[in-house]
Chains A and B, each alone.
Chain A
Amino acid sequence: MTNSSRPLPQPSRWSAGYWEAAAERRFVVQECRSCDRPIMYPKRVCPHCLGDDLGWRASPGKGEIYAVTAQLAGPPTGFADRLPYVVAIIRLDEGVQLMSNIVGDGALEARIGDRVSVGFEDAGGTVLPVFRLDESEVAR
């Protein structure tokens, strides 16, 4: 198994802006211009007001870990050579949640409540937002 078989996102017409920003190492969160709420993951219509005047707001990409697991065995196709890797649900400071990987120093010891910041990982031509533990957490 190689990285080439790792599943990569196939952007939809309404999510393309998220991945285009990531390719430029910018992190954005979808926003509804009708009700002013942040939306993650990006949707075709606002799940709060059903409006479709949606855009992107720059996000500092900061938040905390809501739940985390280190994957040590039995991965899906495309991830055998990435073991061990860390899957987490991140709760951004904007109040929305997303799934990502925790990478870098201390990732395998990441815990609920740890502060994290966005980073970017080139996965065979697609840039994925990933998260790193803030320095204060690594020093713990």
Chain B
Amino acid sequence: MVRLITHNILACHAKGCTSNNFPLQFQDVSIELREAEFNADFLRGFLPRLEWPALVGAARQLGDTSLPEEQPEMIDDEFLQKLHHVLLEIHVEEGAMVCPNCKHVYPISNGIPNMLLAEHEIG
């Protein structure tokens, strides 16, 4: 159950990998759509924490092009509905996330990403 809200806060944490380590790139993913309860207050509160270009990029990688390239200044209900769908209803079930910098592969199986590092990768 990697949703884009989680993907958007996740950077690579391998040893020495401190720059260009975000966002992780999706690879060979299969997704599932599951409805979630809409909560406008939560979305408004979370919006300032989002890395917008990373979110738009990840959504496009998963085949969703509903979000605009630039974060709109007007936050209306229609926009929040789209954001809700992208952040909380798209679940990546299988595949992998790859660090753009050190190329570490975090496999996703059964919706759970494996974040374990080998001994030499621990910071």
A binds B: no
- Name B's A-contacting residues (CB within 8 A): none
